[in-house]
Amino acid sequence: MSFSDWQPIRCAVCGGVSEHMTLASTDSPGPPDLDTRPAETMRSSLQFWILECPNCRYAAPSIATAAAGAAELVRKNEYQAIKCRFQRHSWLLAQLGHYADAGWVSLHAAWMADDAEDAERARECRGRAVELWKTGKRHGHDFMETTEQEFALVADVLRRRGEFEEALQTCMAGLNEQNLTPLIEDVLRFQLTLISRRDTAAHTMGELPKRPQGGERVTLE
Ligand SMILES: [Zn+2]
């Protein structure tokens, strides 16, 4: 992981200039978690994914730009009352109708909470991610490339929340998908094992049971 120097950035909402460390590059050679969280070194770069203006608290991947309507939303009490900058950006995206992305940023907020060992906040952020993705689907917004990937992701997010019954139903729905790829089938079957153990911990794609020799596995890469 490498950083660029501290950069002065002019906030697109309030015009204030503040200094921010931004990420120049990362690599992530290891297998990701089942919820797509990357391995090191990108894993540790999470805190730099969302910047925050210290003057008006506008939070975004780049505070130098703001969508139309964002400035007005940032000034609202509801926005200012949200403590985590990831959740503030997620709230902005949801208000602007970008439900799929809002769900992803809420999942990233859960990872931040995991790192801070704040289980309650992590659980809340995961719940919000699923709600946002569901709202997105009602509006015709996909949050992953395929429906089977969406089932696999949501199953993991629900399991990490300890919602085992819902996670189980999500896995079964995923396994009923037509044209299920071997990789996602393996992920869903591994989830079933974790659910049966009442396991809420993070697990990586590297833990998937090996297929028998000659078995085929298509990777996501
Ligand atoms: Zn600002």
**Residue 51's beta-bridge partner residues?**
60
Q: Residue 213 pLDDT > 90, yes or no?
A: no
Give me ligand 1 centre to Cα 153, in Å: 34
Domain ranges for the chain: 1-143, 144-221
Give me ligand 1 centre to Cα 126, in Å: 28
Task: Determine the average pLDDT of the residues in 93-101.
Answer: 98
Q: Residue 120 pLDDT > 90, yes or no?
A: yes
**CA 127, CA 119: separation in Å to the nearest integer?**
12
**CA 173, CA 69: separation in Å to the nearest integer?**
38
**CA 188, CA 200: separation in Å to the nearest integer?**
15
Which pLDDT score is estimated for 80?
98
**CA 36, CA 184: separation in Å to the nearest integer?**
13
Task: Determine the average pLDDT of the residues in 77-104.
Answer: 97
The predicted model scores a pTM of: 0.92
Q: Residue 217 pLDDT > 70, yes or no?
A: no
Q: Residue 106 pLDDT > 90, yes or no?
A: yes
Give me ligand 1 centre to Cα 73, in Å: 12
Return the structure tokens found at 111. 């990872």
Give me ligand 1 centre to Cα 122, in Å: 27
C-alpha neighbours within 13 Å on the C-beta side of residue 104: 15
**CA 88, CA 93: separation in Å to the nearest integer?**
9
**CA 33, CA 73: separation in Å to the nearest integer?**
33
| Tens digits of residue pLDDT in 161-200 | 999 999 999 999 999 998 899 999 999 999 999 999 999 9
**CA 162, CA 172: separation in Å to the nearest integer?**
17
Which pLDDT score is estimated for 211?
75
Give me ligand 1 centre to Cα 13, in Å: 5
Task: Determine the average pLDDT of the residues in 89-96.
Answer: 98
| Tens digits of residue pLDDT in 4-21 | 678 999 999 999 999 998
Which of 1-15, 145-159, 182-196, 198-212 has the least mean pLDDT?
1-15
Helical H runs in the chain? 70-74, 77-80, 85-95, 99-115, 119-138, 147-161, 164-175, 182-196
Task: Determine the average pLDDT of the residues in 46-74.
Answer: 96
Give burial (CB, 10 Å; 0-12/13-18/19+) of 2: exposed
Give me ligand 1 centre to Cα 11, in Å: 5
Which pLDDT score is estimated for 219?
59
Does residue 157 contact residue 126 with C-beta atoms inside 8 Å? yes
Which pLDDT score is estimated for 179?
87
Banded model confidence at residue 3, pLDDT cuts 50, 70, 90: low
Give me ligand 1 centre to Cα 44, in Å: 26
Give me ligand 1 centre to Cα 125, in Å: 24
Give me ligand 1 centre to Cα 32, in Å: 34
Give me ligand 1 centre to Cα 59, in Å: 9
